[in-house]
Amino acid sequence: MKIAILAVLCVAHLGAQEFEVTSIRPSAPPTSRRIRVDFEGGPGTGDPTRFSCRNCSLALLVMRAYEVEFNQIAGLDSRTELYDIAAKIPDGATKEQFPVMLQKLLSRRFHVSLHRETKQMQAYELVVGKSGPKMMESLGGEVSQEASSSGNTLDAEGFPVLAKGQSGYASVNGRARMQVLQSTMDQLAGKLSNQLDTPVINATGLGGSYDYELHWDGTADGTPSLFSAVESQLGLRLQAKKAAVMMVVIDHVDRTPTAN
């Protein structure tokens, strides 16, 4: 009897690591230069049994599946192919199982094969500044899913107004603003890595989660720059260093997925 129960549990566990139904279609051509990407649902969200992604690139799928940043992916240079994805997630699936589901989707529908390797490269180390951190420790509570820069209501500076309890990012005329709730320092390092297109390593030694806002000017002569904004607004500092970075190297990918 115990063996039979164990076998049933193993089957249920394996089944929870794969989407039950998945639809993948090419996204509609963009109507403007600004493309909204919606990555919604999944375990740990308000819609745990469904996942959808609109205007989803292969690079984004690889990032979420293997928990790396874009600058840690080699062999997948193009971000032009975009897809609309809708998937049914088995009941009881966990946040830890979700990346495995994305890995299987990439393997079965796009025939992705890859390997990992470590590469010595230029990076930044995120450390605490001389005056200490200026961020607020999170008080907990429910946080809405992260929003893109496509809010309908704009403030006096032209930035989308985010609802209370919502994280988001917006860029307007070279200026950028980031509002983040319940973020670990590893997650902040990942966001900075995406902005700089260079690996950022968390060396702050800070545990727990934080709420913060960060705004900077992305133009060549802009003030504040992202580097000075991180120091003056968050009490942290980015310092250049060489580091061994784990890379995901794409060996093969079919950019046209298998039929639904």
Instruction: Express each pLDDT in 138-190 by its tens digit.
Output: 876 544 445 444 445 666 666 666 666 667 777 777 778 888 888 999 999 99
pTM of this prediction? 0.73
The kind and range of the H/E element at 83 are strand 82-88
Model confidence at 16, pLDDT cuts 50, 70, 90, reads low
Burial (0-12, 13-18, 19+ Cβ within 10 Å), 173:
exposed
Model confidence at 14, pLDDT cuts 50, 70, 90, reads very low
Most confident range, picked from 145-154, 197-206, 219-228: 197-206
pLDDT score recorded for residue 163 = 62
Question: Which residue, among 190, 196, 198, 247, has the nearest Cα to 72 in the 3D structure?
Answer: 247
pLDDT score recorded for residue 94 = 93
DSSP single-letter state for residue 203: -
Q: Residue 16 has which token pair?
A: 């929870």
Model confidence at 37, pLDDT cuts 50, 70, 90, reads confident
Give dist(CA 169, CA 63) in Å, integer: 18
20 backbone dihedrals φ, ψ, rounded to 5°: -75, -40
pLDDT score recorded for residue 238 = 96
Helix (H, G, I), strand (E, B) or coil at 208: coil
